[in-house]
Amino acid sequence: MSRLNVTIDYTAITTNVAALAARTTADVMAVVKADAYGHGLVASAAAARTGGAGWLGVAQPQEALDLRAAGDSGAIFTWLYGPDDMPAHDLVAADVDVSVSSIEVLAVVIEAARDTGRTARIHIGVDTGLGREGCAMAQLPALVDAVAAAQRDGVVDAVGMWSHLAWADQPGHPTIDAQAATFRAALDMASAAELPTTVRHLANSACTLTRPDLHFDVVRPGIAVYGLPPVADPDGANWGLRPAMRVTSRVVAVKSVDAGQGVSYGHTYVTEQATTLALVSAGYADGVFRSASNAGPVTIRGQRYTVSGRVCMDQFVVDVGQGAPVAVGDEVVLVGPDGPSATEWADAAGTIDYEVVCRFGIGRIKGIA
């Protein structure tokens, strides 16, 4: 069991989705992949729905099926699989919208539609320049023709087309407009083939916040749903979003030491004067970044401190200063509105806040604030 306590303010997710919805005339697809970025799949999805999300997006198909099993009956989209690992029959039977980026995946979807007697709802995935998921533009004409044939046969309904941006978190980057132009060319190709594609989506969190001209029919905010926008708000108001995750641990020992005391493995931290050391019961086995040794921020009794020495497997030390009123049992806030932010931990660990919330959150949620 983790020694971290992770609580989620689901009302923050609801208000975040509502704030995002207020910025667009498009429908909102709240991305809840990876256990909702560590925030809890089912509860986060419900909170997003309450905030006005008409769609939910997940990478892994099992998460879509888990949402259906939990009772979500709204529009759900999933996109990450190959032809050999796609549970197409289950997805089609559960009325989940699926991405099709290759002839091979389309064949699996067609077979599932025929076997289940249901028309499969598909979104054609296009690689407009990310170089990741999606059909390359050179192969897109063949895929569009195959989808159009399946549409005429009544086994699929090509309701959507989508792509993903590479540099949306750097507003003004030339790839954004270049990818948008390629996406529009792909849409023209689908239109020429008389495919409906009325669910067009390109915008991620950054694009949702900064490029309303690229919202099309649906926007797909992910990290912003959890109150962590990937682009700075020029007004300094965090786009009206509120972080939803709080991560804490406890002080399990306190000791006074002299100047010159080495702390933790390798003595990468040495006390400069007589001081007090607080031992915190959490480490890299719990998701605390070892790369944040001598850098990770924490708050104890309202005071900000920094991890002192190396983060260990199940503990780390904080130099709280001589005579500090820190005691065994005190709460240690790693992330939260009353402590450091996930972004501060990302800076300390040399990563991004996406990884911080996923590392701290997945499998560690203990309660709901």
Q: Which residues are catalytic?
A: 33, 265
Q: What is the DSSP letter of 22?
A: T
Q: Rounded distance, CA 103 to CA 248, Å?
A: 48
Q: How many residues belong to the chain?
A: 369
Q: Rounded distance, CA 369 to CA 198, Å?
A: 38
Alpha carbon 338 to its chain's center: 22
Kindly list the distances between the CA atom of residue 317 and the CA atoms of 48, 250, 264, 305, 330, in Å, as whole numbers in the listed order.
38, 11, 7, 10, 14
Please provide the DSSP assignment of 93-140 as one string.
HTT-EEEE-SHHHHHHHHHHHHHHT-PEEEEEEEESSSSSSSEETTTH
Q: What is the DSSP letter of 256?
A: E
Rounded to a whole number of angstroms, the CA Rg of the chain reads 24
Token pair belonging to 17: 């989705």
- DSSP β-ladder status, 297-300 and 331-335: antiparallel
